[in-house]
Structure 1
Amino acid sequence: MSMFSSLSRITLAKAAIFKNAPVYIQFYVTSRCNLECEQCNIIFANSDVRECTIDEIERIADNFAEMKVAIVLLTGGEPFVRKDLPQIIHAFESRGIHVRMQTNGFASEEQIVRAIEAGGKDISISLDSLHPDRQAIINGKVENSWNRALRAMAIFMRHLPREGSFASLGCVLQPQNMADIEDVIRFGTAASWFTSLVPVHVSDNAAPRGFRSFDQTLQFRETEYATVDAIIERVRRMRTEGYLLYDSDQYLDDIKRFVRNEKTTWRSHNHDVCDSPNLYFALLPNGEFAPCCDHRMEKSYPAYAPEFPSQYKQRQFREEVARITSACSGCMYGSYPEMTVSMRFLAAKIQRVKTFITSPPDKNWPLSYEELLELAESIRSERRERPQSRRNDG
């Protein structure tokens, strides 16, 4: 059973050939969140705009269906704080647009069940460590956030179909969790969940970027570069050994460059410019177009407006976006780079086809919360050499 509708499959195929089809949209449906993670600034960056009404979201879904958008990521903030999330999911899924849900794991079982019943069958949960105390610090000193994430994993496994679904852990590589990366991947694989790495992004007040933390202590130090390199090479080997790591070789290599503030290469097949808006873009909570989570447009382009599908194709609009993207030094936010890599680099394209279509891994679901706790403890206790994380003292 395919996870993607015929509309999504056709758009993905066209994008792979022509590199100019709206494959992937990140929709920040809210800026509200029940965590204040150290590495995230989005709850503050988007707090100045209102949230779309469900009527506006229905119109966005109509426009996206007309534009033949393949995938919409519903993110935030924390999307499950919206009581109408099931209606939002249904708005897109009922029009053949694949929905990916992103969460910190604080949703109740009732909320999760309603989201799945509405059509959501693709989930990403944030998990940066197998140590509850370390995860709590990363999440802004929120106790039990690690346990809540594992409970949510168990609930999703209990209610998602084994076939035609996808589950992954989003793990942010930062100085304070370098010892945890391999453990998270091992844990995810044992639970039949992929892991996707994102290096921490840090901005400064002189040149702020929307998603990036202002905490300068999260920057990797020169003395830590070799440790990052070793982690990347280890997880690359793990993927060849059968562990469920989502990331492509091109993306892994660019993590090394990014932490050194060196030029990344994932945009090299497109004149060193990202593929927004050709392959992907973002929507602010109020439904306005944005090139990505880091940048906004000077003019307002609401995606619920009747004229948005035609505006999206106009030369003037594309030139306005290009002025922003051509000046950007680039990011490593996972989905954006990997979408470009998947469409422009053959090896990654083949890898994605295997992951989602020809050879998706079998799932050992369901696993209970208690089984996940035992699994995490078992992996934490394994006697293996681990890199040294920086202490959480700045």
Structure 2
Amino acid sequence: MKESKNILRDSHGRVHSYLRISLTERCNLRCTYCMPENGVQLAPKSHLMTYEEVYDIARLFVKHGVTKIRLTGGEPLVRKDIPVILEKLARLPVELSMTSNAITIDRFIPDLKKYGVKNLNISLDSLDRKKFEQITRRNQFDKVYSNILLLIKEGFKVKVNAVLIKGFNDNEIIKFIHLTEKLPVSVRFIEFMPFDGNKWDMAKMVSYNDVMNRVHAVFQKEDLLKLSDAPHDTSKNFKIKGYIGSFAIISSVTNPFCDSCNRLRITANGQLKNCLFSSSESDLLTPLRQGKSIEGIIQKAVQAKFKIRGGMDTLKKLQDPDLHSNNRSMISIGG
């Protein structure tokens, strides 16, 4: 049998068809789990990918089998050339989606529709105005919530991402689930993950089991419906009988989905990360600007991908700050 030359197949047999591209390190919120308290050293504009470079890199990945691209940040909509980026990426035979905090997304609804962006992940970590301001360091709850309702009205498929932190918003789990009673949204509870500067520790994390214990305490067993998870899905999906929407749990820490991972990430300054938890990166932008082929670099980076969580294959390793603090802060990786 002829050996496969797929540069997006790693040494564990996983084929990567999903690319997340961060367009900027900038954001109009300052979420505590994402951005260090003192901010981050932003890369100079000249070090960031231009819209042409975003397209050229994306086109190469699509050539080798990527079928889905998600645009992230920072907040991707703070890029002034976002309509141009959308227009160029829409030329590719790929599903295009976006993660946003929704503060300004109402201004871009015509562009999103025009260029076929139907799936939107919106970050919302609390349904309480004061808590929202506390975690984001900004008073924008009403704007975000009203824009979520607007996106639903305009026909977008909306997922609401909530990072759970013990003692802060874990008492809102049921409130978030009740949100799905009348709204066709998927609320996704995300385990708090360690990144540089976010003061992570295991005691702050709300696990998959913690979420389900709260669910079972409120809802009858026969009313909790397990939904089918899509191939390569990062979440375990459920709904309450009679509710329009659904909810899910992304348990990257306690129950990682590494075996079926098909994701790669490009940072705003053109670094390829083969895993969200990995501290290693591969520079694509410099050789691209030098007119060199980057396919060999991509293949080498994919081949170097660890089987589990960037090599942190036990919770003990994950709790070692010498291992996880070498990674970037979330804001500079891309959500």
The TM-score, its normalising length taken from structure 2, stands at 0.70
Per the TM alignment, residue 246 of structure 1 is displaced from its structure 2 partner at its CA by: 4.6
Aligned counterparts of 2:270 and 2:205: Cα–Cα separation in 1? 38
- The alignment yields a C-alpha RMSD, in angstroms, of 3.7
Contact 2:275 2:309 in 1 (8 A): no
Which structure carries more helix by proportion?
1
Amino acid corresponding to residue 179 of structure 2 in structure 1: F
| Pairing partner for 1:288 from 235, 259, 271 | 271
Contact 1:38 1:215 in 2 (8 A): no
Amino acid corresponding to residue 240 of structure 2 in structure 1: E
Aligned counterparts of 1:122 and 1:46: Cα–Cα separation in 2? 31
Q: Using a 3 Å threshold, how does the CA distance of structure 1 residues 290 and 62 change in structure 2: closer, same or farther?
A: same
Aligned counterparts of 2:171 and 2:266: Cα–Cα separation in 1? 35
Q: What SS does the corresponding residue of 1:197 show, helix, strand or coil? A: strand
Paired positions, count: 282
Amino acid corresponding to residue 155 of structure 1 in structure 2: L
Aligned counterparts of 1:82 and 1:330: Cα–Cα separation in 2? 38
Aligned counterparts of 1:265 and 1:131: Cα–Cα separation in 2? 29
Q: Does 1:29 align with 2:23?
A: yes
Amino acid corresponding to residue 274 of structure 2 in structure 1: P
Q: What SS does the corresponding residue of 1:110 show, helix, strand or coil? A: helix
Amino acid corresponding to residue 159 of structure 1 in structure 2: E
Q: What SS does the corresponding residue of 2:161 show, helix, strand or coil? A: strand
Aligned counterparts of 1:330 and 1:82: Cα–Cα separation in 2? 38
The equivalent of 1:95 in structure 2 is: 92
Q: Using a 3 Å threshold, how does the CA distance of structure 1 residues 62 and 266 change in structure 2: closer, same or farther?
A: closer
Query: What per-residue deviation string (whole Å, max 9, x for no partner) do you get for residues 265-284 of structure 1?
Result: 544xx4xxx74xxx211111
Q: Using a 3 Å threshold, how does the CA distance of structure 1 residues 299 and 80 change in structure 2: closer, same or farther?
A: closer
Aligned counterparts of 1:107 and 1:325: Cα–Cα separation in 2? 33
Contact 2:270 2:283 in 1 (8 A): no
The equivalent of 2:198 in structure 1 is: 213
Q: Does 1:137 align with 2:134?
A: yes
Aligned counterparts of 1:106 and 1:317: Cα–Cα separation in 2? 35
1:244-263 equivalence runs, <5 A: 244-247=245-248, 254=251, 258=253
The equivalent of 1:206 in structure 2 is: none
The equivalent of 1:39 in structure 2 is: 33
The equivalent of 1:172 in structure 2 is: 163
Q: What SS does the corresponding residue of 2:305 show, helix, strand or coil? A: helix
Query: What per-residue deviation string (whole Å, max 9, x for no partner) do you get for residues 109-157 of structure 1?
Result: 32232233222111111122222112111212x11x2111112113323
| Pairing partner for 2:284 from 288, 301, 312 | 301
| Pairing partner for 1:230 from 213, 216, 221 | 213
Per the TM alignment, residue 73 of structure 1 is displaced from its structure 2 partner at its CA by: 1.4
Query: Identity of aligned pairs, percent?
Result: 18
Per the TM alignment, residue 31 of structure 1 is displaced from its structure 2 partner at its CA by: 0.8
The equivalent of 1:150 in structure 2 is: 145
Query: What per-residue deviation string (whole Å, max 9, x for no partner) do you get for residues 211-241 of structure 1?
Result: x71265x84389x998555225468936353
The equivalent of 1:3 in structure 2 is: none
Contact 2:188 2:247 in 1 (8 A): yes
Q: What SS does the corresponding residue of 1:247 show, helix, strand or coil? A: strand
The equivalent of 2:184 in structure 1 is: 192
Per the TM alignment, residue 285 of structure 1 is displaced from its structure 2 partner at its CA by: 0.2
The TM-score, its normalising length taken from structure 1, stands at 0.61
Q: Using a 3 Å threshold, how does the CA distance of structure 1 residues 68 and 135 change in structure 2: closer, same or farther?
A: same
Amino acid corresponding to residue 108 of structure 2 in structure 1: Q
Query: What per-residue deviation string (whole Å, max 9, x for no partner) do you get for residues 51-81 of structure 1?
Result: 2101111212321221221111111111110
The equivalent of 1:120 in structure 2 is: 117
Aligned counterparts of 1:117 and 1:99: Cα–Cα separation in 2? 12
Contact 2:68 2:96 in 1 (8 A): yes
Q: What SS does the corresponding residue of 1:38 show, helix, strand or coil? A: coil
Aligned counterparts of 2:209 and 2:96: Cα–Cα separation in 1? 38
Q: Which runs of 5+ in 1 are unaligned?
A: 1-14, 203-208, 332-394
Q: Using a 3 Å threshold, how does the CA distance of structure 1 residues 158 and 312 change in structure 2: closer, same or farther?
A: same
Q: Using a 3 Å threshold, how does the CA distance of structure 1 residues 48 and 197 change in structure 2: closer, same or farther?
A: same
Aligned counterparts of 1:122 and 1:301: Cα–Cα separation in 2? 27
Aligned counterparts of 2:48 and 2:28: Cα–Cα separation in 1? 17
Query: What per-residue deviation string (whole Å, max 9, x for no partner) do you get for residues 236-271 of structure 1?
Result: 9363534433536xx5xx57xx4xxxx63544xx4x
Q: What SS does the corresponding residue of 2:280 show, helix, strand or coil? A: coil
Which structure carries more strand by proportion?
2
Contact 1:35 1:139 in 2 (8 A): yes
Contact 1:27 1:72 in 2 (8 A): yes
Q: Using a 3 Å threshold, how does the CA distance of structure 1 residues 104 and 53 change in structure 2: closer, same or farther?
A: same
| Pairing partner for 2:255 from 252, 258, 264 | 264
1:338-357 equivalence runs, <5 A: none
Aligned counterparts of 2:19 and 2:96: Cα–Cα separation in 1? 10
